[in-house]
Structures are given as structure tokens and as C-alpha cells.
Amino acid sequence: MRASKAPFTKINVVVLAKKFGAAIVSLEHRYYGKSTPFKSTETKNLRYLSSKQALFDLAVFRQHFQESLNLKLNRTNVENPWFVFGISYSGALSAWFRLKFPHLTCGSLASSAVVHAVYNFTEFDQQIGESAGAECKAALQESTRLVEERLASNRNAVKTLFDAAQLEIDGDFLYFLADAAVTAFQYGNPDKLCSPLVEAKKAGKDLVEAYAKYVKECYMGSFGVSVQTYNQKNLKDTAVTENSSDRLWWFQVCTEVAYFQVAPSNDSIRSSKVDTRYHLDLCKNVFGEGIYPEVDVTNIYYGGTKIAGSKIVFTNGSQDPWRHASKQFSSPDMPSYVITCHNCGHGTDMRGCPQAPLSLEGNAQNCSSPEAVHKVRQQVIEQIDLWLSECHASDVK
């Protein structure tokens, strides 16, 4: 699953802003959306697309915004306290911003923050297996095996069954199917996937058809994912359009962070054909020769899970496979919390559980353990309150 694809909601940030009497400022990452410096996204034009550049953009903007605010209010040398928030990749940016520009922010909340660049991310698939449980895991593994068999005998028929005939490269198709399963756990809807699959397996029904029904109704329907997201032909399109984000994120994957979600050597859920070679071939095919993810450089620059910043809160969901690229070791200046419940996925502290109220005080009715979500949110508030008060005290001095 692409880290940048995580849906983001401002609702909890709004609640926090009201609590602390704060304003909310949201920036668009360079190259994404309307913030594109070139008229095409050909590889040579993407040389300024990186997390480092994004952090400097935020630093420059923060200075400009503060100066503009002071001018508007006729103030001199006033520094309002700033706190940075983010989920997933933006969660990593939040942590990295505090690390690199500690004088510009009082602290950061790094929710499901993927701060550790991973070349072969086998833990991702392993976490899906753990989150699924024995019965669902077995059903998913059998579905994968059956799909591979049908690809060998009648590849067009099985792709058509999933409304994915346009994915000519088998690796793209198998990655698409793996991502569909990932989403159920990543965003806290495991029962939507597991219940029908386990029931179909017990009843002796066609598991591939049961999985295809889930993919089309939930992943492509409710979740709104387009098959074209996985089509390398689409990823090679250099036109600047509303769909350019797929190509842009893959460029960051292929140059900075990798997060290659590959099948473990044994007991895998996804197809073994989704391996390192698949990802490297995609990078070469989409962006040309010489494109390679320098994960060691990224981790040396930011510190990976040994990030040496301060006043950063890390939060993760127990079922979220991305938590293995996040920081989960706690310290007084960088507290880390894992929210444990049946459907605690990506950014649960910020997004809430599926269809659950998102107020900080309200119970998350769709969570198996709403008190776990509530407890972490309260702990986050306490940290924000403490660090903001320290910022205010420093300004007074």
C-alpha cells in the first residue's frame, strides 16, 4: 500500500485547535496538486521532489507566515508557538521537521509515522498475517495460490473477474490484489474482508470469486481505489493531471524510502512474485536507468527508528502493518503509544475507527476497545499541553 494514499481528516486537528485556541495551517507538498514547478513530470523534472525539499518548504513558509502575521497585527519579533501534525508519510515529515528545525516548532505529533525507510519490507506482510488471525490468513493464502494457478491457465479470465484486465503485467495485478487485503487491516475494517472469505472457505465455495467480490465492492467501490493506480503504463504518463500523485509517490519510493512490500521467504500472504525484482523493474520501467532507493542515506540523514529529536509523540495502531516502519520505543521526550484493539489501524488516534465519532472525548463506538483510543488521545493532549506551556514560558523569558 502506498503510504501517501492514507486518507486524511482534519476533524481531530479542529478539535485540538479549539481546545488550545489555535489556528490551523495546512500546506500542499511540492509537486502534488497545484504545487508543481514544471509542466511535465518526466524524470529529469522530478529532481527537486524529496522529503528534504518539503521540509525546507515548510520551514520557509512558517517563517514567512509568522512575519506576515506580525505585520498584519502590527507586532515586532513575536513568535507564536507552532505544533506540527501528520499521518503516515506526513507523520514522518512531522517528526523530521521537529528533528531538523526544533527552533521552529514546540513539538510534533507523528501518527503512524513511517520514519524508517525499508528496502525489503517483509514485516509488512507478516503483520497482515498476524492481524488476520489463523482462519482468515489461511483463506487469504489459499486465495493467492488459486489466483496464481488461474493466471497460469487463463490469465485474462481471472483478471477480468477482478475488473482488472488492463493490468497486463502480472506483477501489477498481484500487487493490486495484495494491496486490497492490506487496506482492510490498515484502515480498521478486517471483518469486511475476513468474514466473507472464512465463510466461503468453510462452505466450500470459490475463494477467488469471494475475494473478487470484496475487491470490487469494498476496495474499488467503498474505498474508491482505481485499478489504474497499479498500471505501469499509467505511471509512465508524464502529463500533469489530477492523477499525477501516483507517479510522484512512486518516484519518492524509488529514490528515498522504498518500503518495498515483498513476500517473506515463507508463510506469505501475498504472491512470491511480488518480490524485490518486481519493485526494481517497476522503478526502472517507469523512471528509467539509474533510479534506485537510497534507504541507507535516508536513514542516516533522519535516524530511522533511532531518530534523535525531542518533543515528538509517536502513535500507532496495533493492526497497522506500517507500524513496523515507525518508532515504537518510548522515551520521556519522545513518547510512543500503540493503540491496541481489533480494528486499530493507520492513524487511528487522528482518524478514529471506521464510522466512529472523532471527538477527543467521545467514545469510538466501532472500536473493539474505545477506551484504548480515548486513553492515547488524552495522553497526546497532555504532551501537547506541556510542550506548548514550555514554549510560552520560554517566550516570556
Q: Which residues are catalytic?
A: 88, 320, 346
CA angle 7, 209, 153 (to 5 degrees): 110
Coil, strand or helix at 200: helix
Cα 348 to its chain centre, rounded Å, is: 12
Residue 363 CA to residue 55 CA, distance in Å, equals 35
DSSP structure class, residue 379: H
CA 170 to chain centre: 25
* Alpha-carbon span 223 to 246, nearest angstrom: 16
Distance from the Cα of residue 230 to its chain's centroid: 17
Task: Show the DSSP H helices in the chain as ranges.
Answer: 11-20, 51-72, 89-100, 122-132, 134-161, 170-186, 190-202, 207-214, 232-235, 244-252, 276-287, 295-302, 348-351, 370-396
* Residues near 383 by beta carbon (within 8 Å), at least 6 away in sequence: 107, 311, 313, 335
Rg (CA), the chain: 22
- Residue 33 is placed in which grid cell? 496538486
Residue 176 CA to residue 127 CA, distance in Å, equals 18
Whole-angstrom distance, CA of residue 96 vs CA of residue 130: 30
Chain position carrying cell 491457465: 153
Query: CA triplet 48, 49, 52: central angle to 5 degrees?
Result: 90
Is there a contact between 276 and 295 (Cβ–Cβ < 8 Å)?
no
State residue 339 phi and psi, 5-degree precision. -85, 120
Strands ordered across the beta sheet of 107-111: 83-87, 107-111, 312-317, 336-339
| Cα 114 → chain centroid | 7
